[in-house]
Chains A and B, each alone.
Chain A
Amino acid sequence: MNLAVNGTAHELESGPLTSLLDVLREELGITSPKAGCEQGGCGACTVLVDGEPRRSCLLPVGAVGEAEITTVEGLGTPENLAAVQQAFTHHYAAQCGFCTSGLMMAAHAYVAHGGTADQDAIAEALGGHVCRCTGYVKIIAAVAAVARGDSFDLATTAASPGMTNIGGVR
C-alpha cells in the first residue's frame, strides 16, 4: 500500500485498518499530528486529505487511497513559514503547542477555501478543536489576520486583541 504525504510517496508496512494517525506518527515518524484523544473529539490529529481537514485518528489508512496528505511538516520550514504559521507565531496563538498543529491545518484549509476574517465564521470552522491554554481569542485573531492577508513581523508579538488595560492598579 502506498501513501503520499507532503509530496513524498511512501510504501507502507501497516495494514489498511491502521489509523492514519498511527501510520504518520509510528511508521513514518511524522509527529506533528498528536494523539490527544484518539476518538475524534479534540482535533489535535487533524491533517489535510486532498486539502480537506480530517481527523487522522479516525481514518483508516486504507480509506485514504490516492489522496494527498498534508501535515504541518508540509506547510513551511522555519526559514520559509507559511502564512498561517507566521500568524500563529506573531499572534501568540500557540501556548503549550500541543493542539497547534491540528488548528493550523484547519485554519490553513479555511483560508484556502476563501474563508474571511469574520470571527463567527472562524469559530465555526475551528469548532471541532479543543485548546485548553489560550481561550481561543488569539487563535481567532491569528486566523483572521491570515484571512485579511496581513504581513507579519516575526521579531515581535502582536498586541492582544480585545484586551483593555484594566485598571489603574498602581
Chain B
Amino acid sequence: MKAVGARLPRYDGVEHVTGRTTFVDDVRVPGTLWVKALRSPVHRADITGLDTSAAESMPGVHAIVSWKDVPLLEYGHLAALGIPADEPLLAKDDVRYKGQPIAVVAAEDEATAQAAVEAIKLDLNEQPALLDVRKAFDSDAPVIHQWGNWYNHFEAEMDRRQIRKGDIDWAFEHADTIVQGVYRPAAIEHVPLETQVCQVVPEANGRLTIYSCTQALYFSMGVVAAHLQLPLNRLKFVGGTVGGGFGGKVDTATETMCSLLALKSGRPVKWRWTREEEFLCSSTRAPWHMEIADAVTKDGWILGRKMLTLHDSGAYARFSPYGLTKHSFHHTGAYTIPNLAFDGYAVFTNRVPTTAMRGFGVTSISFATETHMSRVADVLGLDPYEVRLKNANRIGDTSPNRVVYTDPSTVPTIQAIAEAMGHELPADYRTMTRHTREGELLPEHLVAQVGNPEDH
C-alpha cells in the first residue's frame, strides 16, 4: 500500500510533456487513405435514392461503403443489457438526424475524399422533424422511430422507467404545501480537444489493426466484430491514449466504418473528424425535461415526490435507457423521501443521439433536486441547509429502488459546505451525524422505509 496517500509521478507525464505520446492522429502508416462521410443535410427524411457510381469512378477514390456493405447493419451498443438494436451503422431507408452518416469514402487525400462525397447522388424526401420532447406525445406529432416516439423495451416491455414506493396518495393528502418545479438542463457537447479519429490497417495475416481513440476498448472491439460478423481474433485494437473523452468516446463512432473501408480497399485508412463535425454530428449529453411536485410539511419534511422526466435521447436509443435508469434510481438526490411516484420516458427526437457524459443520468437529477431543495426551503421560509440536513440520507434509509444505504455522506457534506460558506448552523444541525435515524429525526412517516444495513 505504498501508493496510497503518496504523491507519485504519473506514468505518462514525461511522454506528454515531450510531445512523444502517440495519439491516434500521430500514428504514421505509409499509403494511408483519407476518409470522409456523406452525412444527412436535414433533420429527417426518407432516402429515395443513393447512387455512388460516379463517385466510385473518380480518380483517387478507392472505396465507398454504404448500408449494403455492412454484414450486420443494426447492432445495439447495449445488447448485453437487453436493449435491442435500433440504429443502422449507415442510414438505409431514412435519416433521422442532421449529420447522420449515409456513406463513407476512402480516397488518396482529404480533398479527393471530400470531392467524392459531393459526387454521391442522394435523393431525399424531407419529412417533418420532431425536435421538442414536450411535443412527442401529441396526437399530431410525427412518428419518427420504428418503436414510436419513446423507448418501449424496458423490463416486461414497459414503455417507461417507473418507480412506485410507499403511499404517494397519503403523502399528498397529509402535506401542508405542494412545491412544484420544472428543470430543463440543455444538451452539452463534450468538446474533446482530439476530435473523433481512427486509423485502420489491413494486415497481411488477414487481421485488422485498429488504432482507436475509444474510451472503452473491448466494448468497441465487440461492436466492430458484431457489425463485421468477424471473430474477435481478427481485430487487433490499439488504444488507451485518449485526447479527452468525457463520455463522448464511448460510442463506437468511427472504428467500424474505417474497418469496412480498409477491407474493401485493401489499404490503410484514416478518419479524423473536423471540429465542425465534432460539434454538429457527434453525440452530446442529453437535454432533460424534469417536473417535480413535492408534498412537504411546514417544518420541512418531504413526505412524497411525484416526478415526470422526459429524457431527450435524440434519434436512437444508444445508452439512453441505461442513463434514464440511473436517473430514476437517484431521483430523490441525496435525500430520503419515502413515498414516490416516478415516471421517466426516453423520448426520441430528430436531434443527434445522446450518450454518456460524466455521471450521465445523475447530473441532471442532482441539478434538479438541489435547485428544488432550495425552492422548498424558500417556499416554507426555512434555512436551505437545515431542510437538506433534515431530509439527508442516513445509514439504514432506503433509496428509491430500495437499496439500504450503508455509507451515505450527505450529512457531513452539507455540514462542510455550511462551514466553507461561513453559514452558522444551530447546534443540533452542527452535531448531526449520518447514523441511523432516531428521536425527532425518525418521524412516523420515515419508520417503514428504514432497512437493516446489516442485510445489505
Instruction: Give residues of chain A (69-92) contacting chain B, Cβ–Cβ below 8 Å.
Output: 71-73, 75-78, 81, 85-86, 88-90, 92
A41 within 8 A of B: yes
A157 within 8 A of B: yes
In the bound assembly, the distance between CA atoms of A133 and B303 in angstroms comes to 40
B280 within 8 A of A: no
In the bound assembly, the distance between CA atoms of A34 and B22 in angstroms comes to 11
Contact B193 A42 (CB under 8 A): yes
A29 within 8 A of B: yes
Expressed in whole angstroms, the minimum distance between the Cβ of A25 and any Cβ of chain B is 8
Contact B25 A35 (CB under 8 A): yes
A99 within 8 A of B: yes
| Per-residue B-contact encoding for A97-112, CB less than 8 Å = 1, 0 else | 1111100100000000
Contact A97 B243 (CB under 8 A): yes
Contact A132 B14 (CB under 8 A): no
Binds B, one of A11-19, A120-128, A143-151, A161-169: A161-169
Total interface residues on B, CB under 8 Å, equals 40
In the bound assembly, the distance between CA atoms of A88 and B18 in angstroms comes to 10
Contact A34 B17 (CB under 8 A): no
B140 within 8 A of A: no
B244 within 8 A of A: yes
Contact B416 A132 (CB under 8 A): no
Contact B193 A132 (CB under 8 A): yes
In the bound assembly, the distance between CA atoms of A78 and B14 in angstroms comes to 6
Question: Which partner residue on chain B sits nearest A104 by CB separation?
Answer: B17
Given contacts A32-B19, A34-B23, A94-B16, contact A159 B7 (CB under 8 A): yes
Contact B9 A89 (CB under 8 A): yes
- The residue from A98, A131, A133, A166 contacting B416, defined by CB atoms under 8 A apart: A166
Query: Could you give 18 example pairs across A and B, Cβ below 8 Å?
Result: A32-B18, A44-B193, A73-B18, A78-B18, A78-B20, A88-B13, A89-B14, A92-B13, A94-B13, A94-B17, A96-B243, A97-B12, A98-B244, A99-B193, A104-B17, A132-B191, A156-B6, A166-B420
Chain B residues with a Cβ under 8 A of chain A: 6-10, 12-23, 25-26, 28, 190-195, 242-246, 272, 274-275, 409, 412-413, 415-416, 420
Chain A residues with a Cβ under 8 A of chain B: 29, 31-32, 34-39, 41-42, 44, 71-73, 75-78, 81, 85-86, 88-90, 92, 94, 96-101, 104, 130-133, 154-159, 164, 166-170
